[in-house]
């Protein structure tokens, strides 16, 4: 099979596009004929050896894909050969074939195409787990999403909007701000040009932020830590700034707010049954139009380096997807709706 191959933790430039043997499913695994694979910032870290885990070398990067089940291992019961599915694993997505645990494969509704389907599980799974399960977001609360024009950021804007929150999107440019606004952000702060602390206090009428969904980290985390509302929740999601922040602990003491860990991937691995139920609810909400994943930027598989570089340089708006197959997906992949 054709695949993107990482032979050493030397970054995007060292990746190869070559041939590997087709993987074979083991017990509780499914083999997917990949039609689309979604890229993430996590992939850029993993190929450089900067993520929390390091796969054994060589490996195929890419955590999210969608396609058709080709084969199943022993004890697989929920999916069958021929099913259209979205799936995730720590790696393996940027290839013509991908192995995933059965618990990480969810059937695609007929109205959801492969390209959009590949963008949902990781981004929306993270956003929903963080906002609904960990922060217990309530209607009427205010959510500030940093990195709001990225893949996970846009999913957080969408989920928070659907849950009845007022969403403030934080972005690094006016163009990205417009993307966040179209996704459902009521207000946008361009933190490259505006004073974040002052704007947050202005937009919340001095009360502060109920929930901070932070994709960026760095100095921004410290700034927002000083404008949290009483009983607020800070959600550290990622550190695209490259800096893991520290927190002055007198701040949560004085405002009675919490810092809540949100490692969705580890939770999904530890609680496969709960995660599968959450997956099914998310994909049903997409099929019904309650959640609205943005149309991804689609590239051929051979353009993987361009897509990863755009993520690493924080130039991407929304998800970037690699197309591994051409042909109908039984859905309109422009909108995710049935033709």
Encode pLDDT of 188-234 as tens digits: 999 989 999 999 999 999 999 999 999 999 999 999 999 999 999 99
Q: Identify the CA nearest to 61 among candidates 93, 32, 87, 19.
A: 93
Domain ranges of the chain: 2-119+293-323, 129-264
Predicted confidence band of residue 331 (pLDDT cuts 50, 70, 90): low
Cα separation values, 2 from 62, 225, 329, Å: 14, 46, 21
Encode pLDDT of 164-197 as tens digits: 999 999 999 999 999 999 999 999 999 989 999 9
CATH superfamily, region 129-264: NAD(P)-binding Rossmann-like Domain (3.40.50.720)
Per-residue model confidence (pLDDT) at position 336: 43
| 132 DSSP assignment | I
pTM flag (> 0.75) = yes
Count CA atoms within 13 Å of residue 262 on its CB side: 32
The domain 2-119+293-323: what is its CATH number? 3.90.180.10
Predicted confidence band of residue 316 (pLDDT cuts 50, 70, 90): confident
């Amino acid at each position: 099979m054709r695949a993107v191959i990482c032979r050493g933790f030397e970054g995007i430039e060292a990746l190869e596009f070559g041939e590997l043997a087709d993987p074979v499913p083991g017990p509780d695994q499914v083999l997917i004929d990949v039609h689309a694979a979604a890229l993430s910032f996590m992939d850029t870290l993993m190929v450089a050896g900067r993520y929390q885990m390091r796969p054994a070398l060589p490996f195929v990067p890419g955590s999210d894909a969608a396609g058709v089940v080709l084969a199943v291992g022993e004890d697989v019961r929920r999916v069958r050969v021929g099913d259209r599915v979205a799936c995730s694993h720590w790696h393996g997505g940027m290839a013509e074939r991908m192995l995933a645990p059965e618990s990480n494969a969810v059937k695609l509704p007929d109205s959801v195409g492969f390209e959009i389907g590949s963008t949902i599980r990781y981004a929306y799974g993270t956003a929903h787990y963080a906002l609904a399960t960990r922060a217990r977001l309530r209607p009427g609360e205010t959510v500030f999403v940093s990195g709001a024009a990225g893949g996970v950021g846009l999913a957080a804007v969408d989920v928070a909007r659907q849950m009845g929150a007022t969403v403030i999107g934080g972005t690094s440019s006016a163009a990205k701000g417009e993307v966040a606004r179209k996704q459902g952000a009521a207000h946008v702060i361009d933190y490259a040009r505006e004073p974040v602390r002052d704007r947050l206090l202005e937009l919340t009428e001095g009360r502060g932020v109920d929930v901070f969904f932070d994709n960026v980290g760095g100095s921004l985390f410290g700034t927002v830590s000083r404008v949290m509302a009483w009983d607020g929740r800070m959600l550290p999601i990622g550190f695209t700034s490259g800096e893991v922040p520290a927190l002055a602990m007198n701040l949560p003491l004085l405002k009675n707010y919490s810092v809540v860990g949100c490692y969705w991937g580890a939770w999904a691995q530890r609680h496969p049954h709960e995660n599968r139920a959450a997956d099914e609810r998310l994909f049903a909400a997409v099929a019904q139009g309650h959640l609205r994943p943005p149309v991804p930027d689609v590239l051929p598989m051979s353009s993987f380096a361009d897509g990863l570089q755009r993520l690493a340089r924080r130039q991407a708006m929304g998800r970037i997807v690699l197309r591994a197959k051409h042909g109908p997906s039984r859905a309109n992949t422009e909108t995710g709706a049935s033709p």
